[in-house]
Amino acid sequence: MVVLTEISQQSSSSSTTYDYDVFLSFRGEDTRSNFTDHLLKALREATIDTFFDDSEIRIGEFLKPKLENAIKASRSSIMVLSKNYASSTWCLDELALIMEQPNHIVYPIFYHVNPSDVRKQRNSFGDAMAEHKQRMESESDEEKRSQWAQRIKQWEKALTQVADLKGVEANGRAETILIEEIVKEISSRLDLHKRSEIPKLFGMEWSVRNITSFLKDGSGQRAEILTIWGMPGIGKTYLANYVFQLHYLDFERSCFLEDIERRCTQPNGLLDLQKQLLKDIQARSWMDIDNVNEATLKIEKSLFMNRTLLVLDGISKFEQLDVLIGTKGLHPGSKIIITSKNESLTEKCRLFQTEVPPKHTKHRLQGLNDEESLQLLSWHAFGCNKPNKGDKKQLIKVVEYCQGYPLALKVLGSSFRSEDATWEDILESLGKEINPDIKKVLKISYDTLPSEKDKELFKYIACLFFGEDRKFTEDILKACGIGKSSGIKILINRCLLTVQSSDKLAMHQLLQDMGRDIVHQESPKKPWKRSILWHHEECLDVLQNRQGTTITQGLAFDMRTFENEIWKEPSSANMQMFGFRSYPSFSCLWWLFGWVSGMCSSSRKTKGDFETLALSEMRNLKLLQLNYVQLSGSYKNFPHGIRWLCMHGFPLSYIPSDLQMENLVALDLSNSKLQQLWKKPKLLRSLKYLNLSSCHELVRVGHFSGLPLLERLTLARCSSLLEELPRSIGKLKNLTQLLIDGCSNLGEFPVEIFKDMESLKVLYAGNINMKSHGSSSSTMVPRTPVSFVSSLPRSLVTLSLKKCNLHNESFPMDFSNLPMLKNLFLDGNPMDSMPDCVRSLTRLETLSFSECMKLKTVLCAPIQLKELDVYLCYSLEKIKFHPEKSVLPRVFYHPNFNLTEIQHIFKRQALSEIDEEVLCSLGWINIAYLNNCGFLKADCLGMYHLTGRILL
């Protein structure tokens, strides 16, 4: 995964940085033109960044600042200790400074000198030191003599230390072989095999700062582990490599193991990974290891003894962690970074089962925003961060499709740059077929799912249940024998699925395309031989040609969506279908043609008409969506095993008696022509979800006693529903959600139905006419609805009474009968203050008064409140929270002239009411002139802002 950009200097400057790999110290007159020159050439050819002082003559007694800085900015030093090395005070000063550097690699070369002569300062080294001492003795200035003595002491110490280090002797050896050995050794000591060019990143600055903070945190004594997780191709490896390159020099040992999942599939792959790890973190021999257990023991010992930075990239099984980090624990200050598609793997390894497990942090890597995506796409398409003006419109469409997915942006941008393709060609292919390079990466997560049931679950969600409620989907697919109880959790952990805050299922567009492509490959040319049909044209062909088979288990067709797709864009394919040539000038004509065709469709048989007999051969069909279609024929032709039936715009006035519904789990007839549910009550022992929302012609619903397992009943916006709700609703022991908002003509509400509804958690009863049909005094929710509120079940968690014409006196003294209530919506009601009873809701987290035009105050809001919505409350003056509340809730409000205070957020008051000391501290002198001015005090920041005018 390649992501390119500049990164902020702030994140990179926080790590240890070096300008040079090697500082080369040598005596010019001895080796400049021969050995040292050859060594320098070999080092640079090996891409080892070497500092070489090319000054032929060194003037002065002391080191130049340039050389001092170069030594301090180098990771290592090579000293060519030749015969006359010690005769140079500059060489000796270099040596002394080098030996003082912390964490500095020192490599001495004894060039035709004996290490013992260096250690004991004998022969040429002894003669040189004797000369330096004579100069010291001859110095008449006492201060300079003291300086000479100090320097000689440092030189003697440095010469002794360097002679004791592991180096190389040149006596009797071919210089070419010797230099090759030196380059190889210094490369190994510098871990140059770990080094690569620091990658450039788009849109990951926050992640880099976050991980850098993790690596720099040395406050705890325990070792720490960070898991970077996200979908394949999102940039996990590049991010980990980026921070590794920035910080690996800050640790005693370091290792980056890349692509572990793939390498583990190769012969001896795991053992090879262990050997690479040992090579990087252990100086001793590792080649003789021939089994995984022995390698694990050595790894454990090394990790326990050394402060290590270890990156394990592409972990797919927790057993890989067991053998790569073991169970003995880590050295204090060690950091391990794990990248994985699976959020839950890390804490399953045995290291977390020890008495003192390491601290674990998770970092989910998300996609790029639109601006970052456009930059990345432009980089790969044009080699620059900004698109050409003429291409920007098309690039924005590609960005919208990719939804911030870096791999797709790279692949599509590169395909434009390297292939003879136009943006029109690329846009035409999007959504129809997934790019093979993108599919190859994404499919890794799918292929490694633990069971076939998990794979089936993924396919059905991608094809049919994207955007649906989680429990709704689970119940339906469980009844079909698809997936297992832990299936959705597994898909979430593998980054194949996400659950939004509203509990709706979501997945990246490319993941959905991949899931659908997998189903498409079941039978590319014969859709009737696939398990799921969702493509509208294919569904229509199969149904109209009666090609259904027992293979198909799910079918989704929406006639309105199909028609919108045909006329929305004048693409070359659908224009040519009707004989138009795909020139831009024909776009307007194409739109006109579509409009005329749409107008004429009501007077002829539409393309979406077909007979129910088309379903008769699909005997294994369990999931069926037929929205806004016209059916002819008997409904007994519907397969008997259907679990989910969705028919928006159902054309009949009641459900036919010959429609087999015994196995139904969910029935959705929204926006239909129903006038009544059925002529005779039915016994549907499996039905859990019944949705009749926006059935504007529905007059009565009948009894629900034959639906013993019903959990969710939706009658929202059934504006013609006249009868009172049947009392049989109260017998639905499993009902958790009842939605009747917008039933504006509903008769009186039988409050006694709540008596036995111990499972009801959600009640939406907003926008209901307060007056019943017969009398102005008879009300469904009375002006003082004590009986209504008192009858509500204690299990209620969410209650909506929006636009029910409720005044303050419409509420009881308290809501003590609703101890579980967390969400209360009172929008659009004519109350002038927060009802007193709301304060008794001790668990309330969300409170909404949006569009309450008369609302003036919200005082002493409940202590657990997390969100308060007072948007478009134009009369609002003051908001105050519970005196013991420490964390402020999120407040959504519309600024208005009347609003003077939101406690702890702002307060507006006359300047005359402000303490004079405060005013004087702001520079005001003529206090008497400020009485007519307004003043705004921001309590949360302790700052003051003038809002009125000074009247002189």
Task: Check: CB of residue 11 under 8 Å from CB of residue 209.
Answer: yes
Q: Which residues contact 21 (CB under 8 A, 6 or more apart)?
A: 48, 49, 50, 74, 75, 76, 186, 190, 192
Q: Which amino acid is at 464?
A: L
Query: Rounded to 5 degrees, what are φ and ψ at 30?
Result: -90, -45
Q: Which two tokens stand for residue 261?
A: 């999942």
Judging by beta carbons within 10 Å of its beta carbon (0-12, 13-18, 19+), is residue 439 exposed, middle or buried?
middle
SS3 (DSSP) at 427: helix
Q: Following CA atoms 40, 64, 108, 15 in sequence, which dihedral angle do they give, to the nearest 10 degrees? A: -80
3-state helix, strand, coil in the chain (%, to 5): 40, 15, 45
Q: Which residues are catalytic, by number?
A: 94
CA distances from 473 to 255, 501, 665 (A): 44, 16, 10
Task: Check: CB of residue 841 under 8 Å from CB of residue 821.
Answer: yes
C-alpha–C-alpha distance, residues 86 and 154, integer Å: 13
Per the DSSP assignment, residues forming a β-bridge with 713 are: 690, 738
C-alpha–C-alpha distance, residues 364 and 369, integer Å: 15
Q: Which residues contact 172 (CB under 8 A, 6 or more apart)?
A: none
Task: Check: CB of residue 738 under 8 Å from CB of residue 761.
Answer: no
C-alpha–C-alpha distance, residues 916 and 913, integer Å: 9
Alpha-carbon Rg of the chain, whole angstroms?
A: 39
Query: Rounded to 5 degrees, what are φ and ψ at 861?
Result: -60, 150
C-alpha–C-alpha distance, residues 890 and 882, integer Å: 14
Sign of CA dihedral 43, 47, 50, 53: positive
DSSP 155: H
Q: Which two tokens stand for residue 712?
A: 């969710």
- What region does 850 belong to: left with phi over 0, alpha with psi -120 to 50, or beta? beta
Question: Which among 492, 454, 449 is positioned nearest to 470, based on CA atoms?
Answer: 492
C-alpha–C-alpha distance, residues 254 and 248, integer Å: 6
Encode 188-213: b = buried (16+ Cβ within 10 Å), e = exposed. Answer: eebbeeeeeeebebbbbbebbbbbbe
SS3 (DSSP) at 390: helix
C-alpha–C-alpha distance, residues 711 and 471, integer Å: 11
Task: Check: CB of residue 917 under 8 Å from CB of residue 924.
Answer: no
Concatenate the DSSP letters of all residues of 454-465 into one string. Answer: HHHHHHHIIIII
C-alpha–C-alpha distance, residues 81 and 292, integer Å: 44
Residue linked to tokens 């619903």: 701
Q: Parallel, antiparallel, or unpaired for β 878-881 and 498-499?
A: unpaired
Task: Check: CB of residue 818 under 8 Å from CB of residue 839.
Answer: no
C-alpha–C-alpha distance, residues 541 and 523, integer Å: 15
C-alpha–C-alpha distance, residues 509 and 3, integer Å: 20
Query: Rounded to 5 degrees, what are φ and ψ at 63?
Result: -60, 140
Question: Which among 621, 712, 639 is positioned nearest to 670, based on CA atoms?
Answer: 712
C-alpha–C-alpha distance, residues 233 and 905, integer Å: 43
Q: Which two tokens stand for residue 482?
A: 């698809």
